[in-house]
Structure 1
Amino acid sequence: MKEILKQAYDYGKEFVDDGNLVNYIPALANVDKSKVGIAVYDNKGNLYEVGDTDIQFSIMSIAKISLYAVLLENYELDYIREYIGVKGSSKAYNSIVDLEESEGKLPINPFINAGALMTSYFILKKFNGN
């Protein structure tokens, strides 16, 4: 596992200078792009780390992936798809255009804000706010 993480880390480090940090979100505007780390727990509770894993950072929208994974573990996909689509979108994550244009006014996927809100609702419903 450590070697796989090291390979992923080395590959990812090649791209730290690509792209730009957003300047309209203070938590992201001043981060050090050179700080990269990967930490993974396996199913036996073993922790594997490589890179700058002791640096705190804001996860923002990447949390949507973890939330959707929790949703998938607790609900049937057919049920979820009644409320949240799985189509791609060329719009921004906070755009409501796809929502307004979609059949049934459903969020087009769990990674736009409307889809993440629905995901959060079902998790809250499942765990009664705990």
Structure 2
Amino acid sequence: MQCRSSKELNEFVMEARKFTQHGKVADYIPALGRADPDDLAIAIHYPDGQCVSAGDIQKTFTLQSISKVISLALVLMDRGFDYVFKRVGMEPTGDPFNSIIKLETVNPARPLNPMINAGALVVTHMIKGASVEEKFQRLLAFVQEMANDSTIGYSSEVAQSEFETAHLNRALAYFLKQHKSLDEDVEELMNLYTKQCAIEMNCLDLARIGMVFAMDGADPLSGKQVIPIDIARICKTFMVTCGMYNASGEFAIKIGIPAKSGVSGGIMGAVPGKFGIGIFGPSLNEQGNSMAGIRLLELLSKNFHLSMF
């Protein structure tokens, strides 16, 4: 699909790119550390099929934590509301996304929400399938359907890099297993989770997925209800309350768009009833969010009155 360049978006990108110098790429995952911190691109996908963009929107990146929203939608479709939220909570946290603190202080040891790593591991554990490969292929097919792009795959290099350095996630998984929140082999779960995080796409694909969430789970272009309305609503609520790590409250006040970020520098936005947004800017702030990406969303929200509040 072609996406037309927008003069206004290009001006926003030029303004927001100034913020890249104040952040740093996620070099604690070696394969992500090679990203160019000055990269910045945005695509906006409308429900009528139109798209506007700025920057190199064909450059691919891995979803990382953005995948948590998609796996949550799939698992809610697989298992149902009660099953899922008996095992993972719905409350925001002020702690970093990879913190173990709340697991130790909450009894029983249930992750506070599906957007922190502990919660995402429990959600990924719930994907139906007889093997890691079957579970992953189901998730990947779901991603491809939402993006309407059957060529989407994953970066084996990034998955391997994350698998080899996922010491903290392994610690979280073993803690959860000790407290009966997980009952599968931790290495198999790490294999699946790192592949999930390494699903790779461009800004246009991400904007189209955001558009499906924005339209309450419907894909107006195919005429299909890809995600049930109530599940899309739950996912968007988590994007507002927990989607930008422990900066979600400030983000909601300043920008007010349901969004989910990932440490590769991606941000998926879903402006309810209007359009989806896909952003890539790998220079991150301390919370792990794209610095220039947040500035871009701030400019969009302010200029076009996009806040839902």
**TM-score scaled to structure 1, two decimals?**
0.68
Match of 2:128 among 96, 111, 125: 125
| 2-structure distance, mates of 1:10, 1:64 | 30
Name structure 2 gaps, 5 residues minimum.
139-309
| 2-structure distance, mates of 1:8, 1:99 | 41
Match of 1:89 among 87, 93, 116: 93
Percent identity over paired residues: 29
Tell me which residue corresponds to 2:117. 113
Report the secondary structure of 1:38's partner residue: strand
Q: CA RMSD in A?
A: 3.4
Instruction: Determine if contact 2:91/2:113 at 8 Å carries over to the other structure.
Output: yes
| 2-structure distance, mates of 1:40, 1:77 | 31
Cα pair distance change 1:13/1:111, threshold 3 Å: same
Task: Tell me: higher relative CO, structure 1 or 2? Use CA pairs within 8 A at least 6 residues apart.
Answer: 2
Mapped pair 1:35 → 2:39 = yes
| 1-structure distance, mates of 2:81, 2:106 | 19
Instruction: Determine if contact 1:87/1:108 at 8 Å carries over to the other structure.
Output: yes
Q: Aligned residues, how many?
A: 126
Instruction: Determine if contact 1:27/1:58 at 8 Å carries over to the other structure.
Output: no
Cα pair distance change 1:35/1:114, threshold 3 Å: same
The structure with the greater share of residues assigned to strand is: 2
The structure with the greater share of residues assigned to helix is: 2
Instruction: Determine if contact 1:107/1:115 at 8 Å carries over to the other structure.
Output: yes
Match of 1:59 among 60, 63, 71: 63
| 2-structure distance, mates of 1:118, 1:44 | 36
Q: Give a deviation string over 1:46-97, Cα, whole Å, max 9, x none.
A: 55543221112233223223323x2476265454322211222233322222
Tell me which residue corresponds to 1:26. 30
Match of 1:102 among 80, 95, 106: 106
Cα pair distance change 1:78/1:56, threshold 3 Å: same
Instruction: Determine if contact 2:102/2:112 at 8 Å carries over to the other structure.
Output: yes
Q: Give a deviation string over 1:15-70, Cα, whole Å, max 9, x none.
A: 322322233211222211221223455556655543221112233223223323x2
Cα pair distance change 1:118/1:45, threshold 3 Å: farther
Tell me which residue corresponds to 2:240. none
| 1-structure distance, mates of 2:111, 2:24 | 28
Does 96-105 or 46-55 show the bigger shift? 46-55
Report the secondary structure of 1:82's partner residue: helix
Name structure 1 gaps, 5 residues minimum.
none
Letter in 1 for 2:128: K
